[in-house]
Amino acid sequence: MNAALPIIALAFAGALALGLWARAGHDMDMEQWSVGKRGFGTVLVFLLMAGEIYTTFTFLGGSGWAYGKGGPTYYILCYLTLIYVISYWLLPPAWKFAKQHNLFSQPDYFAARYESRPLGILVALVGLVALVPYMVLQLKGLGIIVSTASYGVIPPTLAIWIGAAGVSVYVMVSGIRGSAWTAVVKDILILAVVVFLGLYLPYHYYGGIGPMFSAIDQAKPGFLALPDRGQSATWFASTTILTALGGWMFPHIFASIYTASDARTFRRNAVFLPLYQLMLLFVFFAGFAAVLQVPGLTGPDVDLSLFKIALETFPPWFVGVVGATGVLTALVPGSMILIAGATLIAQNLYRPLAPHATDASTGRLAKIMAPVLALACVGFTLYGGETIVQLLLIGYAVVTQLFPAFFFSLWRRNPLTKAGAIAGILASVAVVSVTVVGGYTLAKLFPGLPGPIQDLNAGVVALGLNLVVAFAVSAMGGRARASATS
């Protein structure tokens, strides 16, 4: 056995121990398990939000896209920065409303704002659909990390099963409080490891960051720029908008709003979280360093680039440290996803059908559903071939369709009716579903359109349809109300 595997196993065991410690002295009722009794301060909320956003997508997907895509990778820098700008304005009023109404989940918010239980159920279903590729992303990352860092001793399939079982136990034991404290350790580790890799690899192989980019540009001209078609400037801008608007719409990220003890927490974090973006540059540097050193990776294998170059460069013990860091980047968001998904099922799908259910029985069901949801995601992981970034983009295309209803709910006079909100979400999610399942793009559907329009992200087109349908249905409802009262 090489030295990497024990280090990875120790990190996983340490995370479980930290979860047990975090729950000590706390009664794990529904409010404690899912939202930490709404008692987290600025630092814990900061780390929890960072733990949910900086995942295996950042660790493997960011470096993989730098390796495989080049210039288009920089959209990641842009959209995450915009997410924090949006949070400064939108999260405090959402938190205040949730606090006043003692809400537990994202669908609770929509159902309460629009006084519509059907809308809450619809939001729960959309959230679950969006969570699946996000959880698959984490499990896929775990499989890559454990299998590669163990030098093939543990095959990816077994690593995925072990990871899913471990995350399930972790969630059932510790709830969101364990996720928050594990995020503390994860953020320290990922910052140290990523900065080291991002600086060491370019200097070790190329003599510096500038020489690295010069070598890549000479070997692959145009690789570092946006292409004229496909992932062009139009794709870049539309994808950045789509993902920025959808950033807080994932159920597990939205639920982190409820954990704060004070609305001002979000504005403090909005000031400092963009600094976290600097870490992504080092992730990209590591991926770019691998372009000429481990050539030939294609398709989903580009996600292996960071570990492939690490295996060629460092001794097994350090590969174990990199692997342990990667495991934590999957464990924290993976646990949050299971908590949010299980809460949606118990609180927003089961409870409306069982009006006599108590908080205690709903909480027990949520904990039971966590491993069931993990099992379903394992199935999608084992039979899906998309790259990590592509999986996340599918989730964003779906979940961003909730943003218009959320945004207008914060207005003093909401222009959308509950019927309008429901119709807009249904129409846009239907469009996204057809394009994703059928593999359609605007270029395939409308080959006669100008090139820049063909390159628009289909999720943004669906978002435009969402707004048109929502306002049209709301306007018709308004006229009907006016006629009824005249």
Report residue 183 as tokens. Answer: 């995020």
Compute the half-sphere exposure of residue 403: CA atoms within 13 Å on the CB side of its CA: 27
**Tokens 């009262």 — which residue?**
485
Residue type present at position 201: L
The CA distance from 456 to 450, in Å, is 11
Q: Which residues contact 129 (CB under 8 A, 6 or more apart)?
A: 398, 429
List the domain boundaries for the chain: 3-389
Highest mean pLDDT among 36-45, 56-65, 174-183, 196-205: 196-205
**pLDDT, position 147:** 83
Does the pLDDT of residue 93 top 60, yes or no? yes
pLDDT tens digits for 295-310?
A: 999 887 888 899 899 9
Report residue 388 as tokens. Answer: 């990590």
The CA distance from 12 to 165, in Å, is 12
Residue type present at position 474: S
Higher pLDDT, 147 or 225: 225
Contact 59, 32 (CB under 8 A): no
Does the pLDDT of residue 57 top 50, yes or no? yes
The CA distance from 159 to 165, in Å, is 10
What H or E segment, with its residue span, contains residue 48? Answer: helix 42-53
* 3-state helix vs strand vs coil in the chain, percent to 5: 80, 0, 20
Using pLDDT thresholds of 50, 70 and 90, give the confidence band for residue 218: very high
The CA distance from 39 to 35, in Å, is 8
**pLDDT, position 480:** 47
Region 271-300: mean pLDDT is: 88
Contact 312, 173 (CB under 8 A): no
Contact 173, 260 (CB under 8 A): no
Phi/psi of residue 76, nearest 5 degrees: -60, -40
Overall fold of domain 3-389: Sodium/glucose cotransporter (1.20.1730)
**pLDDT, position 481:** 47
Bridge-partner residues for 40, per DSSP?
260
What H or E segment, with its residue span, contains residue 181? Answer: helix 156-206
Report residue 131 as tokens. Answer: 């969570």
pLDDT tens digits for 355-386?
A: 788 777 887 888 888 888 988 888 888 876 55
Residue type present at position 11: A
Contact 251, 127 (CB under 8 A): yes
**pLDDT, position 27:** 60
How many whole angstroms from its chain centre is CA 397? 12
Cα-only R_g, the chain: 22
CA-based max dimension of the chain: 81
**pLDDT, position 484:** 41
Higher pLDDT, 288 or 12: 288
Region 268-278: mean pLDDT is: 79
pLDDT tens digits for 22-31?
A: 666 556 555 5
Using pLDDT thresholds of 50, 70 and 90, give the confidence band for residue 204: very high
CB atoms under 10 Å from CB of 294, counted, come to 19
| Cβ-based burial of 143 (10 A; exposed 0-12, middle 13-18, buried ≥19) | buried
Does the pLDDT of residue 183 top 80, yes or no? no
Pick the closest to residue 72 from 302, 292, 244, 235 (CA basis): 235
Helices 117-149 and 388-399 cross at an angle (nearest 10°) of 170
**pLDDT, position 486:** 33
Using pLDDT thresholds of 50, 70 and 90, give the confidence band for residue 289: very high
Q: Which residues contact 296 (CB under 8 A, 6 or more apart)?
A: none
The CA distance from 462 to 431, in Å, is 6
**pLDDT, position 163:** 81
pLDDT tens digits for 453-470?
A: 889 988 899 999 999 999
Report residue 438 as tokens. Answer: 């059928």
**pLDDT, position 197:** 95
**Tokens 């002295």 — which residue?**
25
The CA distance from 341 to 365, in Å, is 12
Region 4-21: mean pLDDT is: 80
The CA distance from 66 to 257, in Å, is 31
Region 409-438: mean pLDDT is: 91
Pick the closest to residue 332 from 256, 248, 242 (CA basis): 256
Higher pLDDT, 164 or 48: 164
pTM given for the model: 0.84
The CA distance from 121 to 143, in Å, is 33
